[in-house]
Amino acid sequence: MSKKILILPGDGIGPEIMAEAVKVLKVASEKFDLGVELEFDDLGGAAYDRYGVPLADETLARAREADAILLGAVGGPKWDTIDPALRPERGLLKIRSELGLFGNLRPAILYPQLAEASTLKPEVVSGLDILIVRELTGGIYFGKPRERRVLENGERQAYDTLPYSESEIRRIAKVGFDMAMVRGRKLCSVDKANVLASSQLWREVVEEVARDYPEVELSHMYVDNAAMQLVRAPKQFDVMVTDNMFGDILSDQASMLTGSIGMLPSASLDIDGKGMYEPCHGSAPDIAGQGIANPLATILSVSMMLRYSFASGQAADAIEKAVSQVLDQGLRTGDILSDGCTRVGTAEMGNAVAQALKNL
Ligand code: NAD
């Protein structure tokens, strides 16, 4: 049976990196007989320009029908001044919440070939392999009420709300424990339970879920300490589970341990394992249109898609091996360039991975 994949290139560098990911996906499909069927649509600013909204109803319907979704990135200065409710990022938040994609997996793996590209000392980061599990459809990014108002004294005030229900915490905690079970069996839950009521409930529920996973060593850490530990001694972590906002920040921080945000894929899964796959980075308007963006995060997102949504571990492993071989050849986009390596553009990098995959 064929597998339907909805491709949403998005804005900025989105279309450039997506072209390379599609190239690699087509090679993988042929090589491993995956029978994928690709459909293309717009999200974010591109959707606003085409449909007048950042996520059109017909696009959402296509996303519901698809077996998996592959997304580039959204946003850019062109849409910074439009009605906030229609901004590109709103389309992204909406598709995540409408599809119930609550479980965001963000691996931060340092390819040994890139140890020099990290701003941290090689001995601190070499061998790094962390998985951040971020809650994606709750918390402060979705909480209501959120409001901006003018107080009686004429001062402007704005506030957001940070709600978490027991069931939301329980299901993301389970994802964290399940991932720990197939990795190093260590889970660190990150919160701010010394200050926030929502974090106190978070910690309580995580402790309850832990009773079903006696083999996993659970620890708790305040988010400020976690941020510090991530740069001090990141290899102490195996799996980290945390809420939407803390996960947003910590996963970007973790990405820099690996040299560049241009290397990091992510998966967002619903309760049945259906997923949307995308690089962790944004639309990088500063380098869009120049053909220099690193497509590897998007290519590695294809690998995650084949692993988690299509149970094609063999094809996923092959893509990761092809990426590793290309790095061995010394090919680097500007963001991961170091002495003695060859600088290549987006398409050259994509072509090299596709070729390495063909040759495996
Ligand atoms: P960004 O991730 O787009 O860029 C941060 C820095 O990393 C920039 O210097 C950029 O050039 C560089 N970079 C990012 N991806 C790269 C790649 N593949 N190769 C080489 N360099 C890369 O974050 P930002 O600048 O804060 O945001 C830009 C826009 O992207 C904003 O509109 C923001 O809202 C949006 N955004 C979208 C997503 C998403 O679609 N998931 C995520 C974050 C930000």
What distance in angstroms lies between residue 36's CA and the mean position of ligand 1's atoms?
28
- The answer, yes or no, to whether any atom of ligand 1 lies below 6 A from the CB of 293, is yes
* pLDDT per residue of the chain (360 residues) written in tens, 0 to 9: 689 999 999 999 999 999 999 999 999 999 999 999 999 999 999 999 999 999 999 999 999 999 999 999 999 999 999 999 999 999 999 999 899 999 999 999 998 888 887 889 988 998 899 999 999 999 999 999 999 999 999 999 999 999 999 999 999 999 999 999 988 999 999 999 999 999 999 999 999 999 999 999 999 999 999 999 999 999 999 999 999 999 999 998 988 888 788 898 999 999 888 999 999 899 999 999 999 999 999 999 999 999 888 989 999 999 999 999 999 999 999 999 988 999 999 999 999 999 999 999
Atom 13, ligand 1: which residue's CA is nearest? 284
Residue 280 CA, ligand 1 centroid: distance in Å: 8
Render the burial of 22-51: b for 16+ CB within 10 Å, e for the rest: bbbbebbbeebebebeeeebbbbbbbbeeb
Probe residue for ligand 1, chosen from 20, 281, 331 as the CB with the greatest number of ligand atoms within 8 Å: 281
Neighbours of 336 (CB within 10 A): 24
Q: Which candidate, 133, 211, 140, 206, places its Cα nearest to that of 170?
A: 206
Q: Which one is catalytic: 67, 160, 178, 252? A: 252
Of all protein residues, whose CA lies closest to atom 1 belonging to ligand 1?
Answer: 282
Establish whether 252 is a catalytic residue.
Answer: yes
Q: Is the CB of 282 under 6 A from ligand 1?
A: yes
Output the CA 322–ligand 1 centroid distance in Å: 25
pTM: 0.89
Annotated catalytic, 160?
no
Tell me the CA–centroid distance for residue 32 and ligand 1, in Å.
32
Among protein residues, the one with the nearest Cα to ligand 1's atom 34 is 75
Residue with tokens 């491709």: 7
State the DSSP code for 290.
T
CA–CA separation, 352 and 142 (whole Å): 41
User: Is 73 close to ligand 1, i.e. is its CB under 6 Å away?
Assistant: yes
Is residue 248 part of the annotated active site? The answer reads: yes
C-alpha 76 – ligand 1 centre gap (Å): 9
Please give the Cα distance from 307 to 273 (Å, whole number): 11
CA atoms of 257 and 230, how far apart (whole Å): 8
